[in-house]
Structure 1
Amino acid sequence: MNFHQLHIFYTVSERGSFSAAAQTLHMTQPAVTMQVQALEDYFGAKLFDRSSKKIMLSEAGRTLLPFALRSIQLMRETDQAMAAFTHMLEGRLLLGASLTIGEYVLPRLLGPFGKAYPHISIMMKVMNTSQLLEEIHKHQLNFGLIEAPVSHPDMEIEPVMGDELKLIVPREHPLAGKDEVTLAEALQHPFVLREQGSGTRRVMEEQLLAKGLDPGAMRVVMELGSTGAVKSAVEAGLGITIISTSSVKHEVALGLLKIVNITDASFKRQFYAIHLKSTLLPISAVTFLTFLRDRAGDL
């Protein structure tokens, strides 16, 4: 018995067939079948009931399953613990990122990562969460980084870094002369917001609901599909907004926009990494995620 066989057994159980497991593991179906049979020979017991079209775990398989899962979790923990010591890694990472993360958070971290691990190349796609999940499911991406948690039966999700949304106003706005305002004061003004369903919009609306306020009562003069478009509209004086502070550092430094603290509300959130449960991330990907966690305070 070895870890590889346990991983294959777990994947067959999760995917419900040898052919689906073979696709997930990038193996041939006969190779998957052979490894499961080797595990069955080792234990002297059948692990699957193959009498129906969809294979089912036998009693022995149901007993083995939690141990196989623990072995996978232990391997992931081992990779995370050893990631700090791996400095000569090579490889290519294929990752996806939602808009705010891909456009404003990761670019300032990719440089330091590239210096620390010069032999790892990164290809990043910036897309919405649904597209990202689809590409991970098709094995076109190793993992993704998203702005809000999602529930998916095939996906593992974990927090990797924190972020905070703040009130952003143009330099000529009446609120620009203040360092802090109440939520009620802010809501008296027209807003330019991200589109419905975006992670940024969701975090803001959840906080308003927690305060007993109706997000639908906001004076929203414009909804835009990217953070860059929202910033441009605010800079042009069309309204104020609530977006990630990591996305406005350049404009704040130039004096084009100002961050104003809201005294009675906090719009904090987590960014999450997501990948297939049945897939072990390459050590280069684990190292990258560990790097993000360690550098989260630099955002």
Structure 2
Amino acid sequence: MNLYGLIVFHHVAVSGSVTKAADILKISQPAVTAHVRNMANELGLTLLAPKGRGILLTEAGERLAAHAAKLFALQTEISRDIAQFRDGEAGELRMVATSLPANFLLPEQLVSFRVSHPAVKVSMRTMNASDALDALLHYEADVAVIGGGGEMRAGLARTLLMEDELWFVASAAHRFAEQQVPLATLMQEPFIMREPGSAARERLLSLCSVHGVNAPEAAMQVSGVHESLHAVAAGLGVAFVSALEAGRAVSRGELARVWAEEVELRNPIVLYTRKGEALPPVAQHFVDAIAPKAELPA
């Protein structure tokens, strides 16, 4: 059955006129007549009967018109849905992020995005940097936001979103609280360490390597920023964290900064996408809202 023929028949039935249907569809009257005739021949039924200057639907025509109306409604819904998807107003924003941006950067941006895109579904999973990039490469997400910069991966493009500071923090009662000490001395303290593969852990180990000091011993290994900050506040050890993560706790006096001599580090937060591939419209709208245009060098 010719689906377009059904749409033509729908307009004939609704308008009650071949001429009006032709005007609506912007095709010729003979073309409308041919579609209706072909539909009748295919079904082996009479669909229209003359009625003065107009037309009358036969019983078969009325039954077909009811089905054609459903098809037209579905066509209209499909067109509306695809238009909304193409314009980035509908669909799913699939993201992965490390704990820093997931907890301290993206929520505010997502609230703003949802206000302007209320029909968009947002899916965000929090994982370590390595797993997040794997998820992006395996098409389990369309965007990855990595605190600490992450790593260069073949097939991925990187855009710097922002930089914040990296801090050493301890409990307010720690003997080094609000003091400046040599890095080697600080590394002799027990540390709250993040899990292998996390950006924070890799940056700390890299810092020790660059300065030629031994990496600290782990008093505890945790898999999230909140667990890390709670352990530090309880006095279980020192942690190396982002200022975004620890800023509020420090301002409330729950944690205290410790300055390592001659150490000042910035913590990049980087947006990753698959290189050379167009983003889904929803993801592109979100990226346009939060990211500068310039990519980091590969």
Normalising by structure 1, we get a TM-score of: 0.60
- For the aligned residue pairs, the C-alpha RMSD in angstroms reads 2.6
Residue 156 of structure 2 corresponds to which residue in structure 1?
155
- Residue 140, structure 1, aligned to residue 161, structure 2: no
Give the Cα separation in 1 of the matches to 2:134 and 2:169.
33
Distance 1:293 1:278 in 2: 17
Aligned residue number for residue 174 of structure 1: 175
Identity value in percent? 24
What pairs with 1:1-299 in structure 2 (closer than 5 Å)? 90-91=89-90, 92-115=92-115, 118=118, 120-147=120-147, 148-176=149-177, 178-215=178-215, 218-293=216-291
- Tell whether the 8 Å contact from 1:166 to 1:262 is kept in structure 2 after alignment: no
Q: How many residues align?
A: 204
Check the 8 A contact 2:130/2:198 in 1, yes or no: no
Deviation at 1:246, TM superposition (A): 0.9
Deviation at 1:244, TM superposition (A): 1.0
Q: Mean alpha-carbon deviation: is it higher for 127-136 or for 237-246?
A: 127-136
The verdict on how the C-alpha distance between 1:161 and 1:224 changes in structure 2, with shifts beyond 3 A counting, is same
How many Å apart are 1:202 and its aligned residue? 0.8
Contact 2:156 2:273 in 1 (8 A): yes
User: Is the contact made by 2:128 and 2:199 (CA closer than 8 Å) also made in structure 1?
Assistant: no
Contact 2:208/2:214 (8 A) holds in 1: yes
The answer (yes or no) to whether the contact 1:160–1:289 under 8 Å persists in 2 is no
Structure 2: distance between partners of 1:250 and 1:187 = 24
Q: Deviations over 1:139-163 (max 9, x none)?
A: 3321111233334333223322223
What letter is aligned with 1:237? G
Matched AA of 1:219: E
Is the contact between residue 242 and residue 267 of structure 2 (CA under 8 Å) also seen in structure 1? no
- Highest Rg: 1 or 2? 2
CA distance in 2, matches of 1:192, 1:245: 16
Which residue is 2:78 aligned to?
Answer: none
* Alpha-carbon separation, structure 2, partners of 1:121 and 1:253: 35
Gaps of 5+ in 1: 1-87, 295-299
Gaps of 5+ in 2: 1-86, 293-298
TM-score w.r.t. structure 2 length? 0.60
1:159/1:271 contact within 8 Å kept:
yes
Query: Take 1:130 and 1:197, find their aligned partners in 2: how far apart are those partners?
Result: 6
Partner SS, residue 250 of structure 1: helix
Equivalent in the alignment of 2:34 = none
Letter in structure 2 aligned against 1:166 = W
Assess if the C-alpha contact under 8 Å between 1:149 and 1:157 holds in 2.
Answer: no
- Tell me, in whole angstroms, the C-alpha distance in 2 between the residues paired with 1:209 and 1:289: 35
- What is the deviation of 1:265? 0.6
Change (3 A) 1:293 1:137: closer
